[in-house]
Amino acid sequence: MIDLKFLRENPDVVRQSQTARGEDPALVGQLIAADEKRRSAIQAADELRGEQKAFGKKIGQASPEERPALLEGSNELKTRVKEAEAAQAEAEAKVNELQYKIPNPIQGAPAGGEEDFVVLEHVGEVPEFDFEVKDHLDLGESLGIIDMKRGTKIGGARFYYLAGDGAWMQLGMLMLAAQKAREAGFKLMVPPVLVRPEIMQGTGFLDEHDEEIYYLERDDMYLVGTSEVALAGLHQDEIIDLSDGPLLYAGWSSCFRREAGSYGKDTRGILRVHQFDKLEMFAYCKPEDAEEMHQKLLGLEREMLAAVEVPYRIIDVAAGDLGSSAARKFDTEAWVPSQDTYRELTSTSNCTTFQARRLNIRYRDENGKTQTAATLNGTLATTRWLVAILENNQQADGSVRVPAALQPWVGKEVLGA
């Protein structure tokens, strides 16, 4: 939720952000006008309540002869107070409605849509093969570690089994991520995967991604598409202690996405599926520390990608592809040989105070005054990483070299040798 004080002081900044995102800049003026009306309504209601309180004292001090007329005036004043309070509630509801329509103002993100990202860096060498490259599904099926056919039989399209060494590779990857997170000061969490509507709304996922979310109507609950949701809701309505530095969490959970509208796109294999596992970093910090924390999360993602030995690039995601909560987002995209292109493996987002304002998460500054915290998130490992690991480490005989960092869990140096 956008900070109204920031909006009033920087309307042009927010308009420029709206334009960069491809959103309606006119909403800025509408919200400013609604906020002015709300403040006027609050003042009017406060004045009438003060008048009502003073009038009540006057009645208490009046003589028996004066009271009937005063009581009649009191009833009239009571009606006016109710009307003013109703006007205040209506004005506040309008402000709230418009606040939820304006996404987080961007901070340094390039303007444009999905294709307007900026490549910041290439890391690692793209492999060259002197044999016909197989995609991850052909490799996985031939090695007996991915079973899409039986997954489809059980759950429908885009469900799968990871079997044997495939399961161990995923578990090893997630354990490696958990270890790195712990060494960096993150507390490991296994959070709920079902959350209430207000938690999903608070993180911004119902603003524009609700078609991606599984909703359990009978229980009025949502399945999370990332543990970011549950970790953001962890401190809802709390004043957290940031006096010793940021609060850092790493959530290990299964995640669920409907992948609505993506039929015919990336449907082969496990690149875009309905259920997957993920290790997600989440940070609460002071707003002035958010940019530094963002780089820390990106640095940890770099470490993990180096450990699993895949070439990748880092992109600065364009404003129109950010999602409503993020002010800036960096994606890391691994090279996928069978597609001859880079595909997203991780992202890390700086959500500034946007989520915490919605969820009422605050901290006390050095003067003891409550302030809204900043939140950030970043993926440290997830199922789709197997796509890049298998394809980049394949060998001419159809076997796959296991990255050294994963060998202790897989128990092998090569799959299928």
DSSP characters over 35-79? HHHHHHHHHHHHHHHHHHHHHHHHHHHS-TTTHHHHHHHHHHHHH
Average model confidence (pLDDT) across the chain: 92
Same domain (yes/no): 170, 319? yes
How confident is the model at residue 64, as a pLDDT?
A: 66
Same domain (yes/no): 67, 184? no
Same domain (yes/no): 130, 224? yes
CATH number at residue 55: 1.10.287.40
pTM of the model: 0.91
Same domain (yes/no): 90, 227? no
Residue 402 in domain:
yes
209-218 pLDDT, tens per residue? 678 899 999 9
Same domain (yes/no): 65, 127? no
Residue 111 in domain:
no
CA angle 46, 362, 328 (to 5 degrees): 110
Question: Range of 210's domain?
Answer: 118-415
Binding-site positions for ATP read 257-259, 273-276, 344-347
Encoded tokens for 168: 């161990």
How confident is the model at residue 148, as a pLDDT?
A: 95
325-362 pLDDT, tens per residue? 999 999 999 999 999 999 999 999 999 999 999 999 99
User: In the chain, how many domains are there?
Assistant: 2
Residue 107 in domain:
no
For residue 42, the tally of other CB atoms under 10 A from its CB is 16
Same domain (yes/no): 162, 79? no
Same domain (yes/no): 34, 149? no
Residue 317 in domain:
yes
How confident is the model at residue 83, as a pLDDT?
A: 86
For residues 236 and 323, the model is more confident at: 236
Kindly list the catalytic residues. Answer: 257, 272, 344, 347, 384
Q: What's the whole-number mean pLDDT along residues 377-395?
A: 97
How confident is the model at residue 73, as a pLDDT?
A: 58
Same domain (yes/no): 50, 173? no
Residue 210 C-alpha from the chain's centroid: 13
How confident is the model at residue 259, as a pLDDT?
A: 84
SS (H, E, C) 232-300: HHCCCCCEECCCCCCEEEEEEEEEECCCCCCCCCCCCCCCCCCEEEEEEEEEEECHHHHHHHHHHHHHH
For residues 398 and 1, the model is more confident at: 398
How confident is the model at residue 59, as a pLDDT?
A: 60
Same domain (yes/no): 63, 147? no
Side chain identity at residue 367, one-letter code: N
Same domain (yes/no): 217, 275? yes
Side chain identity at residue 395, one-letter code: Q
Percent of the chain with pLDDT over 90: 84
Residue 112 in domain:
no
Q: What's the whole-number mean pLDDT along residues 147-158?
A: 95
Residue 81 in domain:
yes
Residue 93 reports pLDDT greater than 90: yes
Binding-site positions for L-serine read 226-228, 257, 280, 377, 379
Same domain (yes/no): 97, 134? no
Residue 74 in domain:
yes
How confident is the model at residue 46, as a pLDDT?
A: 87
Give the DSSP letter of residue 186: P
Encoded tokens for 44: 């009017």
Q: What's the whole-number mean pLDDT along residues 109-124?
A: 95
How confident is the model at residue 70, as a pLDDT?
A: 57
For residue 305, the tally of other CB atoms under 10 A from its CB is 23
Residue 263 reports pLDDT greater than 90: no
Residue 264 reports pLDDT greater than 60: no
Q: Rounded CA gap, 227 and 162, in Å?
A: 21
Q: Rounded CA gap, 55 and 236, in Å?
A: 41
The closest of 102, 17, 33, 47 to 354, measured between CA atoms, is 102
For residues 128 and 262, the model is more confident at: 128
